[in-house]
């Protein structure tokens, strides 16, 4: 039997519970631009009462410094205009530059802008802004989410801002090397997962927990794929390695339990649930997730999907199907 990505995407699909995250983002997408900016500011400051992201390191902030300096020099009206361009994904010089940033540089850019807003150097909300009722609806939906889901909503809205540069091809300037996240706690290396002994899975978690992406990649088949939450599969060693360097650094993966089934052709499907911490929030925010692996008969990873769970109850949702 030839394994296909399409069929791999559907393993354990009957055990999956729809996440409230896309529903919240769909409500957000319906807001006008000024309402979107106001929603994000309120959501970010509200969240800030209990959790705040770690300050990005100097190296990461340097990548955003050019844009930040331009914005600092602007009048209030111009600053508001730039944020509108980013939120509406307009084709403007600043929105294009932002569009070429990596995910973590985008987050660092907004982190610093948020600090400048708190200091009164940059204006958070357009002057004379009147909130529409829709903003309240999205804020209420957001309050129902747990902390891990809330930071995912913020992250995904930040990632989606700026001009979509994917159609332009790679940036003409060489992409900046992604600075490393410093781990605040030592990586978790001796991994035990209740119900799972599969070497490729244990090796994957161990490699990821020490940012050893080469070791993780070598566990995949050459046509293997990794599907991040709410995204299409990323296929092949080179593309997965690039993605990991940009977006999977400094993560603490704490898988707890799993189930494993051997298929007639000797391949295996495994579903594992557990908690992941991002370097932005360290041990203060745990995200409940599932990994769904398809391992080929030779013990290589053909496919792994990472799913955000709808609720902590879902961590236990491991009946075989």
Interface ranges with ligand 45D (CB under 6 A)? 37, 40-41, 44, 53, 107, 110-111, 113-114, 117, 124, 151-152, 154-155, 158, 208, 228-229, 247-248, 251, 253, 276, 278, 280, 287, 289, 306
Nearer to ligand 45D, 35 or 174 (CB): 35
In this complex, which beta carbon is closest to ligand 45D, that of residue 64 or of residue 107? Answer: 107
Tokens describing residue 24: 């919240």
Round to whole Å and give the CA distance between 212 and 216. Answer: 7
The strand order across the sheet containing 268-277 reads: 234-235, 220-227, 301-308, 287-295, 268-277, 252-262
Question: CB-wise, 119 or 190, nearer to ligand 45D?
Answer: 119
Considering the complex, state which of residue 119 and residue 173 has its C-beta at the smaller distance from ligand 45D: 119
Cβ–Cβ < 8 Å for 201, 193: yes
CA 235 – CA 301 distance, rounded (Å): 12
Identify the H or E element spanning 259. strand 252-262
Nearer to ligand 45D by Cβ, of 67 and 158: the residue is: 158
* Nearest distance in Å: CB 280, ligand 45D: 4
The distance of closest approach from Cβ of residue 109 to ligand 45D in the complex, given in angstroms and rounded to an integer, is: 8
Percent helix, percent strand, percent coil in the chain, to nearest 5: 45, 15, 40
What are the contacts of 158-161 at 24+ separation with CB within 8 A?
158/106, 158/107, 158/110, 159/103, 159/106, 160/89, 161/86, 161/87, 161/89, 161/98, 161/106
Q: Which is nearer to ligand 45D, 263 or 281 (CB)?
A: 281
Q: How far is the CB of 172 from ligand 45D (least distance, A)?
A: 27
What is the nearest approach in angstroms of ligand 45D to the Cβ of residue 155?
4
Least distance (Å) from ligand 45D to the CB of residue 194? 18
Nearer to ligand 45D, 192 or 266 (CB): 192
Closest contact distance (angstroms) between CB of 264 and ligand 45D is 27
Q: How many CB atoms lie within 10 A of CB 289?
A: 21
Name the minimum Å distance from CB 11 to ligand 45D.
16
Using CB atoms, what's the residue nearest to ligand 45D? 114
Cβ atoms < 10 Å from Cβ of 202: 17
- What is the C-alpha to C-alpha distance for residues 40 and 51, in angstroms, rounded to an integer? 15
């Amino acid at each position: 039997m030839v394994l296909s990505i399409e069929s791999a995407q559907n393993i354990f699909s009957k055990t999956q519970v729809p996440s409230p995250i896309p529903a919240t983002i769909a409500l957000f997408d319906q807001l006008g631009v000024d309402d979107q900016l106001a929603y994000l500011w309120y959501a970010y400051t509200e969240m800030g009462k209990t959790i705040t992201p770690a300050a990005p390191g100097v190296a990461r902030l340097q990548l955003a410094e050019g844009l930040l300096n331009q914005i600092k020099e602007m009048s209030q009206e111009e600053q508001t205009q730039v944020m509108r361009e980013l939120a509406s994904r307009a084709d403007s010089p600043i929105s294009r530059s932002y569009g070429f940033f990596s995910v973590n540089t985008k987050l660092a850019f907004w982190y610093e802008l948020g600090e400048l807003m708190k200091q009164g150097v940059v204006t958070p909300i357009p002057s004379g802004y009147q909130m529409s009722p829709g903003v309240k609806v999205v804020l209420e939906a957001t309050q129902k989410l747990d902390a891990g889901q809330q930071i995912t909503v913020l992250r995904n809205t930040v990632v989606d801002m700026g001009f979509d540069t994917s159609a332009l091809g790679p940036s003409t300037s060489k992409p900046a090397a992604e600075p490393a996240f410093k781990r605040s706690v030592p990586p978790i290396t001796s991994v035990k997962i209740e119900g799972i002994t599969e070497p490729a899975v244990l090796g994957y978690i161990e490699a990821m927990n020490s940012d050893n992406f080469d070791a993780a990649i070598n566990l995949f088949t050459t046509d293997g794929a990794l599907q991040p939450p709410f995204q299409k599969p990323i296929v092949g060693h080179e593309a997965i390695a690039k993605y990991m360097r940009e977006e999977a650094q400094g993560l603490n993966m704490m898988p707890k339990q799993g189930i494993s089934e051997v298929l007639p052709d000797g391949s295996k499907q495994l579903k594992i649930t557990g908690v992941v911490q991002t370097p932005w929030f360290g041990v203060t925010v745990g995200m409940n997730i599932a990994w769904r692996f398809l391992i080929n008969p030779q013990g290589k990873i053909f496919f792994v999907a990472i799913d955000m769970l709808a609720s902590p109850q879902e961590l236990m949702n491991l009946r075989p199907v």
